Amino acid sequence: MIYTMMQACKETGMTYQGLKFYCNEGLVPNVKRDSINRRIFDERDIAWIKSLTCLKKCGMGIQEMKEYTRLCLEGASSIPQRKNILMRKKAQLQESIAALNASVEYIDKKQEFYDEVLEGKREYFSNLIPCSCQK
| pLDDT digits 0-9 by tens, 110-124 | 999 999 999 999 999
21, part of any domain: yes
The domain tally of the chain equals 1
Residue 133 has pLDDT above 90, yes or no: no
Query: Which amino acid is located at 61 in the chain?
Result: G
40, part of any domain: yes
Q: Which helix (H) or strand (E) holds 115?
A: helix 79-118
27, part of any domain: yes
Pick from 114, 108, 25: which is nearest to 64 by CA? 25
Q: What are the angstrom distances between the C-alpha of 11 and each of 4, 6, 16, 28, 45?
A: 10, 9, 12, 15, 11
Domain CATH for 5 = 1.10.1660.10
Question: In this predicted model, which residue has the larger pLDDT, 131 or 72?
Answer: 72
Question: What residues have CB less than 8 Å from 8, skipping those under 6 apart?
Answer: 14, 19, 39, 41, 45, 46, 49
51, part of any domain: yes
- Domain of residue 36, residue span: 1-58
Chain segment 2-61, per-residue pLDDT in tens: 999 999 999 999 999 999 999 999 999 988 999 999 999 999 999 999 999 999 999 999
SS3 assignment, position 7? helix
53, part of any domain: yes
